Structures are given as C-alpha cells and as structure tokens.
Structure 1
Amino acid sequence: MRSPETYMVLVSPDLLVQLMKRTGDGREVSVRELAEAAGCHASKIDALRNGRRKKSTLTEALAIARRLGVDLLVLWEHTGRTVEAPVEPLHMVSVPA
C-alpha cells in the first residue's frame, strides 16, 4: 500500500520568481529547467509562479529548493497541524502516470 504523499505550501510566488532570477550559483533558471529538476511539468512551475497553485509534493519542493540553492523552508512550509494544505481545483490536480 502506498503511503500518503506529504505536501508543502509555497511561502510566496514572488519569492519563487526572485529566486529563479538569481539562483544560488548566480544564474537565472527557466521554468522548463526548474520543472525538469523537480520532475514535474512546466505548467506546474508556471502555476506556482503565478499563484494559481500553492502546494507541491515534498519531493518536488525539495528538488526545487535544491536547484534554486536555498534551504527547503526558505520557500516552503510544511502542511499538517498548523498549516492546512490548500485544496487545488480539480483541473489543477495531476494524475499519476
């Protein structure tokens, strides 16, 4: 049986945009490059940047933070007892391949 996925909530879409313009190595990263590093579709990164989407899986959040060169909790908050995971509209929910 598969364990439930842990979700993280994006602290700020504007912060994500800023960090993409100047990553830990000083270079800009594109939406496509960040999506590839995170193992998700570019539309998900775009939705996070524009505030249409607020949550991501822990695995994706870790990969995004790593690629941007920041600690996980600079960009993401854990969901759970104090931070509720937002409900994504059905058209935004991904289907496992």
Structure 2
Amino acid sequence: MRPQQNPMVLVNRDLLVLLMERTGDGRPASVRDLAQAAGCHPSKIGHLRSGTRSTATHDEALAIARRLGVDLLVLWEHTGRTVEAPSEPLHMAAVPA
C-alpha cells in the first residue's frame, strides 16, 4: 500500500492555463495530454484550470510540472505542517454509503 501524500496546492490557475498554451518545449499541452502524464482523469485537469479544484497529489503535481517544463514549485505549494490544505467544495466530496 502506498503511503498517503499531503496534497499540493495549485498556486495560480491562470499560470497553469498560460503554461499549457506554451510549454517548456514551445508546444501546447492539452487537458488530455496533461491528464495522461499525471495519471489522472482529464476532468481533474479541467477542474484545476477552472478553479473548482485546487489540489493534486504530489506525484500528479510533479508530473504536470515536468510535462509543462517548469519546476514543481513554480505551479504548486506544499501542504502539511505549515500550510493547511484547502478543503474541496462539498460537491467534490464522496457520498457516504
């Protein structure tokens, strides 16, 4: 079993959109492209772009930053002991069984 990771917080959604238009190699990255690189569903990338979601796992955040050609901390902020992770909107929470 994988140890639980503290989520990473997206610093600026507008910067994410801008970097997707022109990555480190000069080519655009689509939502599907980023999702494939991060190993997540494309809707998660869409929610990050729109601002309805602001967190991702460390592995997802690192994969997104690498695909865009930037350092991790250009787009993401660590959470944990010093930075509290924001709570996601209620509609994003799991429904109790």
Q: 1:2 to 1:29 in 2, by over 3 A?
A: closer
CA distance in 1 between partners of 2:30 and 2:76 (Å): 19
* CA distance in 1 between partners of 2:2 and 2:16 (Å): 30
With normalisation by structure 1, the TM-score equals 0.89
Determine the C-alpha separation between the residues in 2 that align with 1:17 and 1:93.
25
Aligned residues: 94
Residue of structure 1 equivalent to 2:52: 52
Find the aligned partners of 1:93 and 1:13 in 2 and give their Cα distance: 21
- Give the secondary-structure state (helix, strand or coil) at the position aligned to 2:87: coil
In structure 2, distance between residues paired with 1:65 and 1:89: 24
Deviation of 1:2 (Å): 4.4
Q: Which runs of 5+ in 1 are unaligned?
A: none
Deviates most, 1-10 or 48-57: 1-10
TM (normalized to structure 2)?
0.89
Say whether residues 1:77 and 2:77 are aligned partners. Answer: yes
Q: Deviations along 1:67-93, whole A, 9 cap, x unmatched?
A: 000000000000012211111134425
| Larger deviation, residues 82-91 vs 53-62 | 82-91
Change (3 A) 1:31 1:2: closer
Pair 23,93 (structure 1): closer, same or farther in 2 beyond 3 Å: farther
CA RMSD of aligned residues (A): 1.5
Q: Distance in 2 between matches of 1:10 and 1:53?
A: 9
Identity value in percent: 72
**What CA distance in whole angstroms lies between the structure 2 residues aligned with 1:78 and 1:67?**
19
1:34 lines up with 2:38 in the alignment: no
